[in-house]
Amino acid sequence: MSLSVYEVDAALIRSLRPTHIITQTQCKVCAVSLDDVQNALRDEWAVDARIVSCEPYTLADVWKDIQNIAAACGEAERGDRLVADLQKRLAAIQPPAGQRPTVAALEWLDPMMTAGYWIPELIEIAGGKLVDFADNPEVIVAHPCGFDLERTRKEMSGKGLTGRVYICDGNQFMNRPGPRLVESAEIFAQILHPKHFAATLRGVGWEEFPNSIGNLAAMEAPVLDENFVGVRAGDDDAG
């Protein structure tokens, strides 16, 4: 049995007397897991909270989790309205026809890891085509899990990337399976089609990476998590 990287403060939860506890089962490294919560509260008989666990891998999963949380809180209709509004905003992102630049989206930098889960869908909505890092993409977007712009800028230093290279605040946007995925799609659209979309989130969610130099072909190949639904080398369709 593996040890958790988190410790749940059961006494604090007891003192807060919550009616609901929201957790997740997708990743035991990214956030507190369902097992962490259940183990911490095993002997806390005073805590009578409903535990709602999320497990999103695609946009459809994210919408379903939002609806499940709303329903658990007795606000099912509000959850449905929120999801409908988010989907409407995504549908409003209309990239120019006939232009679909290839994109390598990096979820992690050391080792290089190609993004998966809902990221391929966001890039497609934004008018791009997710490809393998080794396929000489036209655009490189780095949004390491848990890193803000400053941390990503620091970690990217010395990587020797060339061409159209951008960094994003993955901690606020791409890596969080919630309403901000709409803004994440807008960020991708602004990066991929700068003449078509106003750069409203530039400096907040993304920026150009300065002084991009080096040979992309010489970079190491990315590592792909087996649970990711992103593009693997040799795939015919980048989705």
Report residues of the chain scoring pLDDT below 70: 1-5, 27-33, 36, 40, 42-46, 211-239
Size (the chain), residues:
239
Is the domain of 106 the same as that of 206?
yes
Is the domain of 127 the same as that of 86?
no
Domain end: 70, 92, 114, which one? Answer: 92
Is the domain of 68 the same as that of 114?
no
Query: Residue 83's pLDDT is what?
Result: 98
Pairing of strands 206-208, 164-168: antiparallel
Is the domain of 74 the same as that of 106?
no
Is the domain of 8 the same as that of 115?
no
Specify the pTM: 0.81
How many domains does the chain contain in total? 3
Query: Residue 30's pLDDT is what?
Result: 65
* Dist. CA 132–CA 220, nearest whole Å: 12
Is the domain of 122 the same as that of 192?
yes
Is the domain of 148 the same as that of 186?
yes
Is the domain of 80 the same as that of 121?
no
Q: Is 188 a member of any domain?
A: yes
Triad 4, 151, 233: Cα angle to 5°: 75
Query: Residue 194's pLDDT is what?
Result: 94
Q: Tell me the HSE value of 202 on the side-chain side, using a 13 A CA sphere.
A: 13
Q: Is 203 a member of any domain?
A: yes
Query: Residue 48's pLDDT is what?
Result: 78
One-letter amino acid at 180 equals R
DSSP H/E element including 104: strand 102-109
Range of the domain at 79: 56-92
Is the domain of 46 the same as that of 69?
no
